A and B are shown apart, each in its own frame.
Chain A
Amino acid sequence: SRRKRARARHKPCELRELEVSVSELGLGYESDETVLFRYCSGTCEAAVRSYDLSLKSMRSRRKIRKEKIRARPCCRPLAYDDDVSFLDAYNRYYTVNELSAKECGCV
């Protein structure tokens, strides 16, 4: 239902996971091996800091104008998972690092 979807969208920042094939990662590897892709998702409303409020205020007072700034926290990985290795369709092994999130936070 729509209400359920709305609630799901407003979950706080947390780690989620998907089972995907290596080819689906879009990194240019051709392999049917399945890996666990963990990512960060959710809102950061509860993590607004005095920093963010003040930054917004500076912007509205036009004390900051041309710079690219972000006045709200963002749900991102704080740490990344261990390396992942796989055999590709041409029987070559590859190892990819920092593929998956291990811990998420509002930064």
Chain B
Amino acid sequence: GMDPATTSKSNHCLDAAKACNLNDNCKRLRSGYISTCSRELSATEPCSRRKCHKALRQFFDRVPGEFTFRLLFCSCKDPACAERRRQTIVPACSYESKDKPNCLDLRGACRADHLCRSRLADFHTNCQATFQSLTSCPGDNFQACLGSYAGLIGFDITPNYVDASTTSITISPWCSCKGSGNMEEECEKFLRDFTENPCLRNAIQAFGNGTDVNLAPKN
């Protein structure tokens, strides 16, 4: 279809949800993780994070990138759109928790799981900021970086947008470097691969602007 008229109601994130809802496979698996991640268990337990993460992994593993990337990396001009983008992974269940663990502890938990460990290694390889390319990405390969980012969702290290800002995109796992002791520097370096990574930021922005010809779904 064509882009709908630019009204206040239309935005790229809403268009991405529409595209998913009109595809049976995407709709089914999206509903799968949304219902699991927003199902309240009890007054003390808002949801089952374990089940929510599993449903999210199934969504990103089984639905083609043309749908999942559009939902995750849609570009936004207003806060409502950016909030919708932030809400994509149902962060209240899959991302946030009462207290923020130390990032190196979180990395340790991830490395204890063989799949999380390999996904994190992929992320570091494919989104490693480099000065040797124009885009800051290894081999100027945006798609590999975005794919590795999406591959982390549903694991201990699940990343997300930290706020609904439309001007600056900040990504982070739910962790901080407080209490790192003598590992503070290492912790900050690990965290900066998410929060201050020009390759990741350029890849997300290029996808949103449709300037990455390999990725932008033109229909």
Which residues of the partner chain A approach B9 to less than 8 Å between Cβ atoms? 32
B17→A83 contact, CB < 8 A: no
Select which of B17, B27, B35 is within 8 A of A87 by beta carbon: B17
Q: Please indicate which of the listed interface residues B28, B31, B38 has the most CB atoms of chain A within 10 Å of its own CB.
A: B31
A19→B22 contact, CB < 8 A: yes
Which residues of the partner chain A approach B38 to less than 8 Å between Cβ atoms? 85, 93-95
A84→B27 contact, CB < 8 A: yes
Give Cα A16 to B185, complex, Å: 60
Give Cα A94 to B37, complex, Å: 11
Per-residue CB proximity of B1-30 to A under 8 Å, as 1/0? Answer: 000000001100010011001101001101
Give Cα A32 to B38, complex, Å: 20
Select which of A86, A91, A95 is within 8 A of B17 by beta carbon: A86
Interface assignment of B191: CB less than 8 Å from any CB of chain A: no
A84→B31 contact, CB < 8 A: yes
A83→B31 contact, CB < 8 A: yes
With A91-B84, A93-B90: A85-B18 Cβ-Cβ less than 8 Å: no
What is the interface of chain B mostly: helix, strand, loop, or mixed?
A: helix
Interface assignment of B87: CB less than 8 Å from any CB of chain A: yes
Q: How many residues of B contact A (CB 8 A)?
A: 20
Interface assignment of B83: CB less than 8 Å from any CB of chain A: yes
Give Cα A33 to B88, complex, Å: 13
Which residues of the partner chain B approach A19 to less than 8 Å between Cβ atoms? 22
B31→A34 contact, CB < 8 A: no
Taking the closest CB of chain B, its distance from the CB of A102, in whole angstroms, is 10
Interface bracket on A: 10 to 19
**Which residues of A (34-58) have their CB < 8 Å from a CB of B?**
34-36
With A82-B27, A85-B30, A93-B90: A34-B35 Cβ-Cβ less than 8 Å: no
Give Cα A96 to B78, complex, Å: 28
B35→A33 contact, CB < 8 A: no
Give Cα A32 to B81, complex, Å: 12
Taking the closest CB of chain B, its distance from the CB of A89, in whole angstroms, is 8
A95→B21 contact, CB < 8 A: no
A33→B21 contact, CB < 8 A: yes
Which residues of the partner chain A approach B206 to less than 8 Å between Cβ atoms? none
Residues of B within 8 A of A (CB): 9-10, 14, 17-18, 21-22, 24, 27-28, 30-31, 34-35, 37-38, 83-84, 87, 90
**A-B pairs with beta carbons under 8 Å apart, 22 shown:** A19-B22, A32-B9, A32-B10, A33-B14, A33-B18, A34-B14, A34-B18, A36-B21, A82-B24, A83-B31, A83-B35, A84-B21, A85-B30, A85-B31, A91-B83, A91-B87, A93-B34, A93-B37, A93-B38, A93-B90, A95-B31, A95-B35
Question: Apart from A36-B27, A82-B28, A95-B31, what 20 extra A-B contacts exist at CB < 8 Å?
Answer: A32-B9, A33-B14, A33-B17, A33-B21, A34-B18, A36-B21, A82-B24, A82-B31, A83-B31, A83-B35, A84-B27, A84-B31, A85-B31, A85-B34, A85-B35, A85-B38, A93-B34, A93-B87, A93-B90, A95-B38
